[in-house]
Amino acid sequence: MKSEAKIITIDGPSASGKGALTKALCQFLNYKILDSGLLYRAYAYFYKIRLASDEIKENITNLDIEIKNNELIVMFKGRNLTNDLRSEETAKLASELSALKDTRANLLGIQRALNNEDGLVADGRDMGTVVFPNAGNKFFLNASVEIRAKRRFLELQNRGQEVNMRDLIDDIKQRDLADQSRELSPLLPADDATVIDTSDMSLEEVFSFTKKLIKGN
Ligand code: C5P
């Protein structure tokens, strides 16, 4: 299979630093962004309002996702869905639905269609293993549960959402376990991915480390 140098995959568990690295690389390389977790969250959001799967797919294809002030803003028919999609409630439903074959199959084509000539940085759980197995540059980020919970806590607090640290640690552990042990597309580094533990690294450190390893750009 031909390796696609202009696809960079960044996989890993929640709050491992994937989102920040993905945005930094996109801005540096002028590549397009795919935050696949956001698509799973959108899937959950539309599922919750009881849409049928064809309608969900169509709505997801019509989302308008843009980086503004270093944040991904999701608009749908003029409505800003960002906070709804980033809530812990949506994350839990997204995690449950993401274990189902139909959900993954419905989102596979949508994700692959985002590949383009300008280049793509794809952030998720199975970007390097399933969605873009021929990506030329694959990374898998990890960090301790405590550090990840702290990062998520600050992120949600900045967004004005009140959460309890203990609940957050429990949620993250539960979600990790579900993501790692599911049958379809479990959370795993691809064989050819570089694994990076970001627990004691700043974003700048992760960014410059990754940048040096990227080939063919
Ligand atoms: O990354 P984020 O926390 O936004 O993802 C929400 C949920 O979507 C994850 O907990 C995971 O279950 C699911 N997901 C997935 N495959 C991906 C991206 C996200 O199963 N590629």
Long-range contacts (CB closer than 8 Å, 24 or more residues apart) made by 179-185: 179/13, 179/95, 179/98, 179/125, 182/98, 182/99, 183/99, 184/99, 184/100, 184/101, 184/104, 185/104, 185/125, 185/126, 185/129, 185/130
Q: Atom 1 (ligand 1): residue with closest C-alpha?
A: 37
Q: Is 16 in the pocket of ligand 1 (CB under 6 A)?
A: no
Assigned CATH for 7-204: 3.40.50.300
| pLDDT 10s digits, 90-133 | 999 999 999 999 999 999 999 999 999 999 999 999 999 999 99
Is the CB of residue 37 below 6 angstroms from any atom belonging to ligand 1?
A: yes
pLDDT of residue 34: 97
Comparing CA positions, the residue from 54, 17, 16, 60 lying closest to residue 36 is 60
- Contact at 8 Å (CB) between 107 and 43? yes
Please write the tens of the pLDDT for every residue from 35-84. 999 999 999 999 999 999 999 999 999 999 999 988 899 999 999 999 99
Which residue's CA lies nearest to atom 14 of ligand 1?
37
Percentage with pLDDT > 90 across the chain: 84
Q: Ligand 1: which of 84, 88, 125, 139 to mutate, most ligand atoms within 8 Å of CB?
A: 125
Output the residue whose Cα is nearest ligand 1's atom 7. 95
